[in-house]
A and B are shown apart, each in its own frame.
Chain A
């Protein structure tokens, strides 16, 4: 048997998507003396054909800017976005949730076609001297030393298999992470449904520089601009949330979208979407996955981005989380930029610090995404009650919208804010349950049913809230102990 070729690096990054590229760039920025070697492997040549995340909140956009990607991306057509616009079912309430009100210096997010994003980021990291990008290269196995620390990986690329010794392995290979699997972590992913996406050209979005959430159909419909072409035309993405048991497949999907989703769009946009569907626009499908956040670090191994937990894309926070992970890893690397060459650049303390911080914001993000997704789908009386409550709350005053938006866009993480938002939503759920919208004399049993439904859901979610609260207030040394 031919011995494997062998090489070494300080950090091996598995996955060259948004998080992987951002981690590579953050690490290279943390090594101004260019002493380190970073290898990035990805199994795809060029961006994956899979339809994936495209929306980044200002918090993540700031990271992109800090890492130097922002200009290149806007130059390639990325669109700066101003926030969200949510439409409740029917011709109902429209709520504007602008980033401008959020207490964060950067007031605009970024939305970009995923393939453009990845292609641009890869192009940039390829130019970094410390970084070596290897496409079409997959992780085959991981090795630990006698202390249990991950020390090497076998990868397989166009040149054959190779053993790479590393100081730290960063698993940034998405929700179906091979790194996670090879590290022996159980696969706790749960497919919660599918997302169908189409591209629209010059779609008449009610707020052209915002992400739109249209409710009322089986699942939420999202629409946002993703690409500004040189000729000034704008490509928008529209996604439809589909159930896990797909009602139809193949060509019938267009008909299903037309019947079940398009009626819930404003008239002009509905007309545009109908035309696109009639014209045979390509419908891309991706599974939506819920992955309860696994432990994010092991000795010699860091999980980042979707590999370290993901949830429904309704809050559009996945990419922002991945960028924050990259920022954190970069910060720890910078802190240890003077570490001698014979010890790992990211030692155990650095990883523990990463984990302590990571474990604070990820549960908040997951809890919010789960709760909002459930409420926006509205399959139960309780969920519909929470949805009504959310819209009533948002419409009540600008401060309510500001606080919610700060939480949703990953800027706010103070536990008391999360708790007060939860309690206020619960209060509005009670109020809106007792006051029907249209019925002049709704039967008492209806009101009681709504009330009990909302109360039941609030009770069910209380454990989640408690976990989030605990994640925020937990002393950081506990993460190290764990």
Chain B
């Protein structure tokens, strides 16, 4: 058992070391999204020329490798052909010299047209199409400039939408005002045309009366743009520019790869030179978001720099004091937009490495137990204690009125502007209330609160439990159920929700002792250990993990941003298994092995 735990920990250690390597060509990605971020970076390169040959070739290899041989499409997180990804993949390949008449690209173009043409792709892809002159800017929803002049508290203020969407929207507004023009080969073959050769315009709003009215409003706004509005527009553009500047993190980028790509474009269109420090810093950030898949796989662009929510489990399972110290150095120390609606002081941990603007509740909630377990000795202990105190306050402040916990900003799942019947309205929100990601975040937050002394009697814990009781936990992954059980067992062991989740977890064990895959099994072990002494089920699950210690476990899936909704996490099973076996060895030493009755 010790050997198995050591084996998993060794692999987790390798992944951790690889993830923090300075050279993008040697760096190892912890979270691998679909091809979209790589395509965006490749489309940006003609504008800024920042990619080395090796990087460009590496990213192209990744894009090519991701194409589904059979259908020719690039798939989405649901395993089905993705219109946006296929558009981007085809476009990038053709732009960088691949033959559009190659059979697989012909098949890809056919898929795009079958799905309604590139003009129906997601909003970020359409921004590229419009900037390349392939479609008119009117194929995108118009943004009234007055949004940027609205007070922070008003429902139409951009502060009310998710941080990813806010960065994208701000950049898009500035790009559409110019409007931007990028010299890329327009992907005409991907656009659906009428018989007369005109492009089929995408419907910008959802069907129905409200959608029709909004469509009319959209046209009105576009017409109104032709009326000189003088100071109002100038003021709005100034405010948007200021937003763009203010929303850059210390790492130089915006909220992940896609907003950073669009931010660079917006700055360039706004007159910034290519050697502008802001652009150079943003390009450096994009470079830090790149890495290889595995030790010698192709280069890919991640959604962001190494995400703390992916790094922390590795540090917990296999990190050293230096890694813990490095994590402490990444604690947020300046005010951020998350404090618009969350009433907590500065603190917590960011979404990605060296980010200091956007707090990530999941990363913060993961950091607290890590610091409690690993930072017990000086010189880290006292500093860690202060970080724990601040982080706990941040986690508490991120609780929504419905009892769930927001990941990045309170209200991110229900921005008022999302209620308008735009086709792209869902991009304004970050997920939905009680979706997998928010359940997961809620579980981590509750676990953090349990570890810091919160009890069931506290109304904030009670509110979460009441919310979980009102709606049954519907989740794709057993990992979320296990995380909830681990969080709730110390808080409210006798609560019906805890019992129901524990029952669901226990009945999910398979004949081979596992709970589906290595990651789920590891999480299940940790959860069952939180409910009491190691039982027969835990011993069987531990044996399952031990048997697979030599195998390369299949990657787990995590949560993405914007249109890229999921990521593959190749190192997560190793980290989870190493931690679970460590916990088991720790606990089993205190209690005898159970016998099967």
Contact = CB atoms under 8 A, between A and B. Distances in A.
Interface stretch (A76-84, A120-128, A437-445): A437-445
A347 B152 CA distance: 73
B537 interface: no
Interface in A247-268: 247, 256, 258-265, 267-268
A442 B389 contact: no
Interface in B368-417: 372, 376, 378, 381-383, 385-386, 388-390, 392-393, 397, 401, 410-411
Nearest to B388: A263
B250 interface: no
A436 interface: yes
Interface in B125-176: 152-153, 159
Given A259-B453, A267-B382, A380 B340 contact: no
A271 B378 contact: yes
A438 B347 CA distance: 12
Interface in A273-302: 274, 278
B115 to A, nearest CB: 39
Given A218-B454, A439-B340, A446 B152 contact: no
B152 A263 contact: no
A263 B343 contact: no
Nearest to A380: B459
Contacts of B453: 217-218, 247, 256, 259-261
A243 interface: yes
A309 interface: no
A381 interface: yes
Nearest to B456: A245
Interface in B357-373: 372
A243 B393 CA distance: 20
Contacts of A271: 378, 381-382
Nearest to A265: B385
B343 A446 contact: yes
B530 interface: no
A291 B392 CA distance: 34
B385 A439 contact: no
Given A218-B454, A263-B452, A441-B153, A90 B390 contact: yes
Query: Which residue among B378, B386, B453, B490 has the maximum number of chain A CB atoms within 10 Å of its CB?
Result: B453
A259 B452 contact: yes
B165 to A, nearest CB: 18
B457 to A, nearest CB: 5
B451 interface: yes
A278 B377 CA distance: 9
Interface string B475-496: 0000000000000001000000
Nearest to A450: B343
Contacts of A440: 152, 339-340
Given A90-B393, A441-B152, A445-B401, A218 B385 contact: no
Contact of A216 (B340, B376, B389, B397): B389
Contact of B382 (A245, A270, A445): A270
B459 A381 contact: yes
A436 B345 CA distance: 11
Contacts of A218: 453-455
A432 to B, nearest CB: 11
A460 interface: no
Contacts of B341: 439, 441-443, 446
Interface string A8-23: 0000000000000000
A193 to B, nearest CB: 10
Interface string A416-454: 000000000000000000001111111101100100000
A135 interface: no
B344 interface: yes
A89 B392 CA distance: 11
B382 A274 contact: yes
B585 interface: no
B342 interface: yes
B159 to A, nearest CB: 7
The secondary-structure label for the interface of chain A is loop
Nearest to B461: A379
B458 A379 contact: yes
A438 B343 contact: yes
Given A90-B393, A91-B345, A258-B376, A443 B411 contact: yes
A1 B455 CA distance: 56
Contacts of A381: 459
Interface in A208-264: 216-218, 243, 245, 247, 256, 258-264
A270 B383 CA distance: 10
A441 B345 contact: no
Contacts of A380: 458-459
A263 B385 contact: yes
Contacts of A217: 452-453
A90 B459 contact: no
Contacts of B376: 258, 274, 278
Given A443-B341, A446-B343, A259 B451 contact: yes
Query: Which residue among A260, A271, A278, A436 has the maximum number of chain B CB atoms within 10 Å of its CB?
Result: A260
A482 to B, nearest CB: 36
B263 to A, nearest CB: 23
Contacts of B345: 90-92, 437-438
A473 to B, nearest CB: 35
Contacts of A261: 453
Contact of A90 (B381, B389, B401, B490): B389
Given A218-B453, A243-B455, A274-B381, A442 B343 contact: yes
A264 B459 contact: no
B343 A89 contact: no
B385 A270 contact: yes
Nearest to B457: A379
B159 A263 contact: no
B156 to A, nearest CB: 13
Interface string A28-64: 0000000000000000000000000000000000000
Nearest to A443: B341
Contacts of B344: 438
B457 A243 contact: yes
A439 B490 CA distance: 31
Given A258-B376, A259-B451, A262-B385, A247 B401 contact: no
Contacts of A438: 339, 342-345, 397
Query: Which residue among A258, A436, A440 has the maximum number of chain B CB atoms within 10 Å of its CB?
Result: A440
A264 to B, nearest CB: 6
A340 B179 CA distance: 108
Nearest to B335: A438
A260 B457 contact: no
Given A91-B345, A218-B455, A441 B382 contact: no
Interface string B85-127: 0000000000000000000000000000000000000000000
B381 A436 contact: no
B320 to A, nearest CB: 20
Given A259-B452, A263-B452, A446-B401, A437 B386 contact: no
Query: Which residue among A247, A436, A443 has the maximum number of chain B CB atoms within 10 Å of its CB?
Result: A443
A442 B399 CA distance: 12
19 contacts: A90-B390, A91-B386, A91-B389, A243-B455, A247-B453, A258-B376, A261-B453, A263-B389, A265-B385, A267-B383, A268-B382, A270-B382, A271-B378, A379-B458, A380-B459, A441-B340, A441-B341, A443-B401, A449-B401
CB-based closest 4 A-B pairs: A260-B453, A441-B153, A439-B343, A218-B453
Interface of B: 152-153, 159, 339-345, 372, 376, 378, 381-383, 385-386, 388-390, 392-393, 397, 401, 410-411, 451-455, 457-459, 490
Given A441-B341, A443-B410, 6 more contacts: A243-B455, A247-B455, A262-B385, A438-B343, A445-B401, A446-B401
Interface of A: 89-92, 216-218, 243, 245, 247, 256, 258-265, 267-268, 270-271, 274, 278, 379-381, 436-443, 445-446, 449
